[in-house]
Amino acid sequence: MDESRSTDDYPMNSVFSGLSIEDLDAGVNLEKKVSRSIARSKPVKQAVEELKPMLATAGDAFTRKDWLFEIKYDGYSLLCIKQGEEVQLMSRNGNDLSRTFPEIFQAVSRFPFHSFILDGEAVVHDASGMPSFARMQRRGRLTKSSAIERAMNEYPATLYAFDLVAFGAYDLRQQPLSKRKGFLRQIIPLPGMIKYSDHIERDGRAMYHAAERLGLEGIVGKSSKSKYVGGRSDQWIKVRIDQTDDFVIMEYREASNGDIRSLIVGQYVDNKLIYSGNVGSGLSDTLCREFSNLNKEVDDVSRPSDAPKNTDFRWKEPLLVAEVRHKEITPSGQLHHPVLLRLRDDKDPKKYSRQTKTRELDEATVEEEPIDKTVHLSNLEKIFWPRQNLTKGDMIAYYEAVCPWLLPWLEDRPLVMKRYPDGIDGKSFYQKDAPEFVPEWVRIEKMWSSSTEREIGYFVVDCPEAMIYIANMASIPLQIYHSRTSNIESPDWRVLDLDPKEAPFSDVITVAKKIHEICDEIAMPNFVKTSGSTGLHILLPLNNQFTFEQSRIMGELLSRIVVQELGEISTITRNTGQREGKVYIDYLQNSSGKLIAAPYCVRQKKMHRCRCLFAGAK
């Protein structure tokens, strides 16, 4: 056995109490042990009230005696307060984030101490174990408990504790930091969701350069004699590590008085200029004048077809380069905290391709073995649409033919099937959970279901063979999520479902045109597709920038505007008996877990003509 891979040195202590089995057998009382240690320093005995977190002041790296230096983590600052059975995770703004980070809440709750207050930072790590701002941002934006439960597995949060403010009856704020951290080290277990934030002494410059090489956000220098004082203090100095890069200026935004508001910048990816962000900070009067002078010789260009129709955008030929300081480039390619440093007229913009920085370890290239994706078809002659004499085989052939157009809509989306084993006149049933006998090459995504309190394995169709496999299971309509598994709580689109019921289809068209007109006025892209039944779906792309709740609110606002202008033929009244023959604009489909008929999917309708009605897309 390779002893270097042994787990013998792993801590065997409890992840909650830090106690070993031997400690428990011996009846060790850790709370009394820590209290005796603290009492020797003669701290104040009093309850801590109206506590505000201590904050660092920005500065530069330095080396100084009686100072210690910690990693500056990229996450949420949390004051963890436990008083008996009551636990709070208070943010810098005074909000309780216990429901946002239930794993940290549980860890704090199960500490074997009656009362304490510790200060720390909640962090989500990337695959290499480094703090990830992008992953923490996704965690922090989740609002639904079911999504947070899933995220606990995908993006678990860790709390790095760096200060102990109170313990038991003792207020430790007047104790020097070096002692507070010593007490803190005693209560933090080696394993678990809460980690002790270690430090080095004196040499801040060396730590800064080490943090820079590792790609960390920065460091924090703290006077080892500092007391814990609410608000900003020059006894704590934060030193941020910034990155700089050159970006091509794609356009600029103009204020009503003609001044330049900001620059729109990008970088080339695979020889295509891709948007990277909007840079307004650092745009001084001097830089504005310099940009205006350089810009006189640059030709205007037409607005790209996929760009927003903002009237304050001035599109230019991408010939100028700007040097921009930023904190990071997110996985989606967007700049985080960009600041304009200077304009570069000495550089060729074509040379600025995005350099993806990664902390991932190199991986060996593994030669993939060919996968047999044979689908064994069954009952191809079974009649599914009796009136048209169309069979299951006809349906499978249709899906095989439309795969090039259908698959992009299904990519990375959880799929819910409605199966008709005996055709549209037979019994049907919904199926979310994939059965155990599904071939390994069919993609299954496990997602937590709060209603069933278990994980459900959803089909995700990502290849033609998977589509044929689903069709062979007699799934006639294909119901898909508004979002993709990679960002399940952020919808791709907002949908307005135009349901005519007894209203003429001409009214549906009129309402759709009105929505198109309103969206065009506010430069909101909008697309129409047939619902596959009697109505239309209006899809408004969101680019994963909004929550489902925000999407629903905006859908309601648009619907109310339409009803105000076309009240004689449209309504948002959900009760079918009260619609008075009007087109119902359903904006309530914009919720997490709601489904929509996929474009081009077959429907279970009884046709009078010899064709299958499908949900098409424009």
Name the segment(s) of the chain with CATH classification 2.40.50.140: 243-351
CA distance 492 to 495: 10
Of the pLDDT bands very low, low, confident and very high (cuts 50, 70, 90), residue 327 is confident
Pair 107, 159: CB distance under 8 Å: yes
Please name the residues in contact with 283: beta carbons below 8 A apart, sequence gap of 6 or more.
Answer: 260, 262, 263, 340
Average pLDDT score over residue span 371-390: 91
CA distance 171 to 173: 6
pLDDT of 194 > 80? The answer is: yes
Angle at 459 between CA 527 and CA 407, to 5 degrees: 40
DSSP conformation letters of 449-474: ETTTTEEEEEEE--SHHHHHHHHHTT
Question: Looking at residues 337-362, what average pLDDT do you find?
Answer: 63
Q: Mind spelling out the 3-state secondary structure of 387-425? A: HHCEEHHHHHHHHHHHHHHHHHHHCCCCEEEEECCCCCC
> How confident is the model over 430-475, as pLDDT tens digits?
998 888 889 989 999 888 776 677 788 899 999 999 999 999 999 9
- On the question of pLDDT at 352 being above 60, the answer is no
At 75, the pLDDT band (50, 70, 90 cuts) reads confident
Tell whether the model's pLDDT for residue 233 goes beyond 90: yes
**What residues contact residue 279 under an 8 Å CB cut-off, 6+ apart?**
247, 262, 263, 264, 265, 322, 324, 335, 338, 339, 340
Q: Residue 17: which residues within 8 A CB-CB, separation 6 or more?
A: 30, 110, 111, 112, 189
Q: Does 366 score more than 60 pLDDT?
A: no
Which homologous superfamily does the CATH classification assign to the domain defined by 3-239? DNA ligase/mRNA capping enzyme (3.30.470.30)
Q: Which pLDDT value is given to residue 368?
A: 45
Could you give the residue range(s) of every CATH 3.90.920.10 domain in the chain? 383-487
Cite the DSSP H helix spans in 257-327.
285-295
Number of other CB atoms surrounding residue 196 within 10 Å:
17
The CATH 3.30.70.3300 domain(s) of the chain lie at 493-591
- What six digits make up the tokens of 2? 């390779």
Residues of the chain with CATH 3.30.470.30: 3-239
Taking residues 221-235, report their average pLDDT.
Answer: 95
Per-residue confidence at 367, pLDDT binned at 50, 70, 90? very low
Q: What is the mean pLDDT of residues 220-232?
A: 95
Query: Can you tell me whether residue 508 is helix, strand or coil?
Result: helix
Distance from C-alpha of 35 to C-alpha of 49, rounded to nearest angstrom: 20
Count CB-CB contacts under 10 A for residue 98. Answer: 18
Domain 493-591, architecture per CATH: 2-Layer Sandwich (3.30)
Task: Assess whether pLDDT exceeds 60 at residue 37.
Answer: yes
Question: Which residues, other chains included, contact 131 with Cβ-Cβ below 8 Å and sequence gap of 6+?
Answer: 73, 74, 75, 123, 124, 125, 216, 217
| One-letter amino acid of 297 | E
Query: Cβ of 240: how many Cβ atoms within 10 Å?
Result: 14
Summarize pLDDT for 86-140 with one digit per residue, the tens: 999 998 888 889 988 999 999 999 898 999 999 999 999 988 888 887 788 778 8
CA separation for the pair 198, 271 (Å, rounded) = 45
Task: Determine the pLDDT at residue 40.
Answer: 93
- Rounded to the nearest 10 degrees, the angle between the axes of helix 145-154 and helix 102-109 is 80
H or E stretch including 548? helix 548-565
Exposed e or buried b for every residue in 334-372, given b needs 16+ CB within 10 A?
ebeebbbbebbeeeebeebebeeeeeeeeeeeeeeeeee
The larger pLDDT score, comparing residue 6 to residue 365, is at 6
Among candidate residues 148, 135, 119, 127, the one with its CA nearest the CA of residue 74: 135
Give me the pLDDT at residue 353, please: 59
- CA torsion 94-16-132-119 (nearest 10°) is 30
Domain 383-487 architecture: Alpha-Beta Complex (3.90)
> What pLDDT sits at residue 395?
93
Categorize the per-residue pLDDT at 289 as very low, low, confident or very high, splitting at 50, 70 and 90.
confident
Return the structure tokens found at 116.
């304490």
Mean of the per-residue pLDDT values of the chain: 84
CATH architecture of 243-351: Beta Barrel (2.40)
Taking 50 as the threshold, does the pLDDT of residue 359 lie above it?
no
